[in-house]
Amino acid sequence: MKETKIKLIEDFINGKLSGKDLDSFKKELSTDKELLKLYEDRIKISELWVKSHEYQSLKSEIGDIIKQENKTFGSRYFFHIGIAATVLVLISIYFIFFNSSSNKLFDNNTVTSVYDTTINNEEEISFRFDEPAEYASIDSLPYFINLVSPVNGEKFDRFETIKFSWKSNSMRSDTLFIVDSESQNILLKLFIVLSDTMISIQYPQFEEREYIWYISDSNSYGRFHITENIK
């Protein structure tokens, strides 16, 4: 009996019912509770089946795009590492094999730091050079700076110590800017070393408003609020 009803429902959905059969089916839907429940469940199942398919397809598309982005970043990063390594090797070869003007320097096969040039006599000028490695440093490569906190408008009172933290693969120094969000005036410029990944400040002169902060080469900024008393 149930199987007959299921077949009738499929015929109805298929558009196979017409005339008296169609009228009879519609009448039964209003009187037969089991038929109505089977019909409604059939519709709900098909709608949810399609929605779950759309959800899964979309999520998979988004996942593929994210994977592509991660791959592109990784290959760009390693490409630049490769370039830097090649440059380093070439410079080292240059200084080892081709630069013979300072015999005094290379007598012991060592390199020492430069201070200035010294003139020993009229014919001879001797130079001392910096470590070749200093001319090709990992810090000259593209690097990332990702701000960690505060980024979402976290609230502090003006006497509180605020810790600004970030992640970076660079060892260089940089500048952290704190800006009034409304007037866009720069309030503070702080010297930082990127490898430290954080700096804490206490600045009672903050006023009760929103500020934004960023590091000069970061591609995003963070927000925080100073309130009078949050405790």
Partner 1 sequence: MISKVPNRKNDENDIISGILENDPQTIRNIYNTQYIKIRAMVSNFKTLNIEAEDVFQEGLTRAVINVRKGLFKGDSTFSTYLYGICRNLCLKEYNKFKDIKRTEVDDFKEEISDDYYDAIQVMLRIKNKLDSTCIKIINMRFGINNDNSVGKALKFDAIAGILKITADNARQKFGRCMSRLRSLISENNEFNQIMD
- Contacts with partner 1, residue ranges (CB under 8 A): 3, 6-7, 10, 13-15, 41, 44-46, 48-59, 61-63, 65-66, 68-69, 146-149, 151-152, 175, 177, 179, 184, 186, 212, 214, 216, 220-221
Min CB(24)–partner 1 separation in Å: 20
Burial 147-172 (b: 16+ CB within 10 A, else e): beebbeeeebbbebebebbbebebee
Min CB(48)–partner 1 separation in Å: 5
Residue among 48 and 230 whose Cβ is closer to partner 1? 48
Residue among 69 and 130 whose Cβ is closer to partner 1? 69
Residue pair 176/154 in contact (Cβ under 8 Å)? The answer is no
Q: For the beta carbon of residue 201, count every other beta carbon within 10 angstroms.
A: 13
Residue pair 120/126 in contact (Cβ under 8 Å)? The answer is yes
Residue among 136 and 224 whose Cβ is closer to partner 1? 224
Min CB(14)–partner 1 separation in Å: 5
Helices 19-31 and 2-14: crossing angle in degrees, nearest 10, is 130
Min CB(147)–partner 1 separation in Å: 7
Min CB(140)–partner 1 separation in Å: 19
Residue among 26 and 53 whose Cβ is closer to partner 1? 53
Burial 85-104 (b: 16+ CB within 10 A, else e): eeebeeeeeeeeeeeeeeee
First to last CA, the chain: 70
Residue among 62 and 114 whose Cβ is closer to partner 1? 62
Residue among 82 and 153 whose Cβ is closer to partner 1? 153
Of 78, 196, 77, 189, nearest to 144 by C-alpha is 77
Min CB(55)–partner 1 separation in Å: 5
